[in-house]
Structure 1
Amino acid sequence: MSSDPAQPVLTFPAWPQAGAEEREGLLRALNQEGWWRNGGSEVDSFESEFAEVHGAPYAIATTNGTHALELALSVLGVGPGDEVIVPAFTFISSSLAVQRVGAVPVPADVRPDTYCLDIEATARLITPRTKVVMPVHMAGQVADLDALAQLAEATGVTVLQDAAHAHAARWHGRRLGEFGWMAAFSFQNGKLMTAGEGGALLLPDEESHRQAYLRHGCGRPPGDRVYAHLTQGSNYRMNEFSAAVLRAQLTRLEAQIAVREQRSRQLTAALSRIPGLVPQGRDDRCDVKSHYMAMMRLPGVTPGRRTAVVDALNAHGIPAFVGFPPVYRTAGYWQGPHSGDVEEIAKRCPVAEEIGGDCVWLHHRVLLADAATVDRLAEVLAEVVART
């Protein structure tokens, strides 16, 4: 379906956004003696600033968000023989990171309203081999951290937050670094702040920070000059140029979230009136939702019709995408450590099965548009869903 020539193509703010702050930061990094973290100051400064915004004692900047998850799992001692419970509906990095450290990702179902991890379903999957539960704050909606805290206390498992979508989000007014758990973030090109690629890991105490620092730099301690590789690790270090850009991006983050919050409420109210379309729900205990995506479902849609809807929206200038398949519905999942089979997992994850087949999402830049454009976006969505 092509766009209606009588209707103008909608225009949204560009992403990524950059200004004088990024240019100044890049020149600042360029003019240093070194361009890697051990020769400059941009990564150190970014880690301090990012940790402060998120209420964490420490942060480590990494090459990307997947590596931030791998680093966290390594610090937590996760390895072969261990199990990590992950949402069945998430981007593949959540399960991939588990497999890359040799452990088994165990998919659990998600909630039909928020698309976040279902804690009751998670509790049923805990075994003596379960070492970590990894909630994903889907599209910036924080998972139920109250229930997760109760589960962790009752079972002794550790919580690792996959916060790739949830920069500066809050739960009951608390920032994600204030819960005593690690939280991993992504700065990939489409994320809420970006340097094209990059990641960060929030750390709750000095010892976890020390271990993360060692492991993200091939096991070398700060200031090492004798190749003292004290532990296993890899090279997950962020470079100075990425950190300089992210320092600038961080200064805009909370103001952009405030705009997205207003536009999201406007858009959600409009989408709720469209027959055959159900927007992602919200748990009001998440009092700052960062709105990485505007997600919605088309219950009962066929794969072909969903693709046609997405194509039609893109023809109107709306950056739309199909939702993630359940992780166990990808070929890559079965090439790493796993247990069970597709149909067994699907049977216990009926909500993820449905959302994986009928979800559509819009890039968060649509929520940085003016109110009139968001109104027109909702009208186009209604027209496309009705006609396609």
Structure 2
Amino acid sequence: MAQNSRPKPEFPAWPQFGEEERTGLVRALEQGQWWRIGGSEVDTFEQEFGAYHGTPHALAVTNGTHALELALQVLGVGPGTEVIVPAFTFISSSQAAQRLGAVAVPVDIDPDTLNIDPASAANAITPRTAAIMPVHMAGQMCDMDALGKLSADSGVPLIQDAAHAHGAEWNGRKVGELGSVAAFSFQNGKLMTAGEGGLVTFVDAGQREEAFLRHSCGRPSTDRYYFHKTSGSNFRMNEFSASVLRAQLGRLAGQIDIRERNWPLLSGLLAGIDGVQPQTVDSRATRNPHYMAMFRVPGLAAERRNRLVDALIERGLPAFAAFRAIYRSDGFWETGAPRESVESIAARCPHTEAVHEDTVWLHHRTLLGTEEHMHQIAGIVSETLATL
């Protein structure tokens, strides 16, 4: 068969939904209270999600960016402080800190796992550092052993950006069991979704109580007289979103099982293509939900990588260019940027400089396909690379 006549693969659709979501929406509708203060869907979702992730202290919010911002505020991040973030991440990781008036300090990543490098994070700590933000890239958890030790030794708390890591585990421990705050996203492409939404898991009840106040304009849930105890904003999740997310949570484990089964096959096939390097899986990450199927083509310049992405899309693969290094986006410099040049940051982030140009990712719905799909993906990637 000629290379461009290969049929386009038909992957499972995303989002996935069914009667469980419909039932939940009707349940939320008929309870007659559509916001969290009078309803029960958000409260119940928090309990269910927290239990699944190993903590009783969960708070649902409007989106993943707000989840990060709220979590950072509870940790004391604000003007005059710094937050260490990986240079290779979606820009919400840095913007959440910057919107609080803090300085975001980008550090380099490991070129294999694509996660924050603990040694680079350690070198960036100053007396102003208020938090370190590991981002579990594509569901592959960061080195939480090294980062946990760094946090304990330095006294700087961790905040896990777990937007890609629903259901992930490190050495058999769930995200909420690792002793640090974590923030999740339920945006439309995420591993479970209500279109938008977010959630924070906390270490203790006191943190969760402060966060509740701040996510509800500083107002306690029992207040009748508009007595606002803290500053804050309206980050409350609505009842309809929570009802959908309860159903989505019920699907999560089975979907992770499928992706965990398919990734070793796809990864091996991709690794067999000359010049292709799949994201490495750390053996200590005992449960990886695989938000993205990521691979590098080291040495590929951004322009050719972008052509590769366009060609893969044309062949039927839901492909995307990797995140741009945060310091190479204009938005990073508008507020809360470090007092150094792009070139200075790039010089100390050589792995990020390479990765953000040579990496491609495929949407996780590809990993919900069949073994035949995995072979189709690898064949299309191989054929397409040969034409660049």
Q: Per-residue deviation at 1:131?
A: 0.9
Partner of 2:386: 386
TM-score, normalised with respect to structure 1: 0.98
Partner of 1:342: 342
Question: Matches of 1:308 and 1:152 in 2, distance apart?
Answer: 41
One-letter amino acid of the counterpart of residue 279, structure 1: P
Question: Matches of 1:95 and 1:15 in 2, distance apart?
Answer: 28
Q: Per-residue deviation at 1:315?
A: 1.1
Question: Matches of 2:5 and 2:112 in 1, distance apart?
Answer: 36
Q: Per-residue deviation at 1:6?
A: 2.2
Partner of 1:238: 237
SS in 2 for 1:197: coil
TM-score, normalised with respect to structure 2: 0.98
Question: Matches of 1:37 and 1:236 in 2, distance apart?
Answer: 11
SS in 1 for 2:362: strand
Question: Matches of 2:111 and 2:30 in 1, distance apart?
Answer: 51
Q: Does 1:298 align with 2:292?
A: no
Partner of 1:323: 322
Q: Per-residue deviation at 1:117?
A: 0.5
* Deviating 4+ runs (over 3 angstroms): none
Question: Matches of 2:313 and 2:63 in 1, distance apart?
Answer: 28
Q: Per-residue deviation at 1:5?
A: 5.2
SS in 2 for 1:333: helix
Aligned ranges 1:54-133 → 2 under 5 Å: 54-133=53-132
Question: Matches of 2:349 and 2:323 in 1, distance apart?
Answer: 14
Question: Matches of 1:151 and 1:321 in 2, distance apart?
Answer: 33
Partner of 1:137: 136
Partner of 1:216: 215
Question: Matches of 2:180 and 2:301 in 1, distance apart?
Answer: 40
Matched-pair contact (CA < 8 Å) for 1:168–1:290:
yes
One-letter amino acid of the counterpart of residue 184, structure 2: F
Q: Per-residue deviation at 1:323?
A: 0.3
Note the residue ranges of structure 1 that are not aligned, 5 or more in a row. Answer: none
Q: Per-residue deviation at 1:4?
A: 5.3
Matched-pair contact (CA < 8 Å) for 2:87–2:326:
yes
Q: Per-residue deviation at 1:297?
A: 0.8
SS in 2 for 1:158: coil
* Count of residue pairs brought into register by the alignment: 386
Between 6-15 and 85-94, the greater mean CA deviation after superposition: 6-15
Aligned ranges 1:160-175 → 2 under 5 Å: 160-175=159-174
Partner of 1:194: 193
1:304-345 per-residue CA deviation (whole Å, 9 max, x = no partner) reads: 211111111111111000001110000000001111110111
Partner of 2:50: 51
Q: Does 1:368 align with 2:368?
A: yes
Question: Matches of 1:295 and 1:6 in 2, distance apart?
Answer: 25
Matched-pair contact (CA < 8 Å) for 2:3–2:383:
no
Partner of 1:265: 264
Question: Matches of 1:270 and 1:358 in 2, distance apart?
Answer: 19
Matched-pair contact (CA < 8 Å) for 1:276–1:385:
no
1:249-308 per-residue CA deviation (whole Å, 9 max, x = no partner) reads: 000101100100111110000000101111111110001011000011111112221111
Partner of 1:155: 154
1:1-41 per-residue CA deviation (whole Å, 9 max, x = no partner) reads: xx955211111000000000000000111112211101210
Note the residue ranges of structure 2 that are not aligned, 5 or more in a row. Answer: none
Question: Matches of 2:169 and 2:298 in 1, distance apart?
Answer: 30
Matched-pair contact (CA < 8 Å) for 1:117–1:135:
yes
Partner of 2:14: 15
SS in 1 for 2:35: coil
